Copies of this chain bind each other. A is one copy, B any other.
């Protein structure tokens, strides 16, 4: 499961993560590829550490212990060579051998697009590829801000997160540096409405939306 920035994974799929890691006991690795702070706070090791700490605590709330935080430059993945980001993603796919990969939707945030491009390469369905399913999730305060004509986040995959929504909100509460007052999308009220909107769309109390990129069903 891949994120570009600390909090992407909670905002976009905290409830689903908690289902996998907490409820079902699946083996889950979260890899956050950027430091998450260097553009806004250049050379500030303390804030970098703080964000990493928040992300780790949030992951723990969701039942995820394998959290990897890399140090690529935040909001500047366009300055990293595509082949170099590919190699990083491929290494993690190679180590874990996951059946399912989730990545942030390629939206208004160019880091999300760079990461998506590398996930697309690392999960190509060659013979022997362990990954059988790729899904994109929608990090709140990003996907919905994408210009309409370039926004293809029209979800075709929904996960009922009624059992884990409260844990998602608790996990997001760890991100003190990222919370903003409503009507910003990053707070309890907006996240709950997000889950209700998609939940009521598909007949369950709370849901998280995804776009399926590819699924290969073995014989």
CB distance from A132 to the nearest CB of B (A): 9
Please, which residues of chain B bring their CB within 8 A of the CB of A167?
Answer: none
Closest B residue to A152 by CB, please name it.
B149
A207–B152 Cα gap in the complex (Å)? 21
- Interface residues on chain A, size class: 35 or more
Q: Does A47 contact B (CB under 8 A)?
A: no
Please, which residues of chain B bring their CB within 8 A of the CB of A151?
Answer: 154
Q: Does A28 contact B (CB under 8 A)?
A: no
Please, which residues of chain B bring their CB within 8 A of the CB of A203?
Answer: 125-129, 183-184, 216
Which residues of A are in contact with B by a Cβ distance under 8 Å?
A: 19, 23, 39, 75-76, 78-79, 81-83, 86, 106, 108-110, 116-117, 120-121, 124-129, 134, 144-152, 154-164, 180-185, 189-190, 192-194, 196-197, 199-205, 207, 211-219
The 12 listed contacts between A and B (C-beta, < 8 Å) are A39-B83, A78-B82, A79-B81, A125-B158, A125-B201, A126-B184, A126-B203, A145-B201, A149-B154, A158-B216, A160-B216, A162-B219
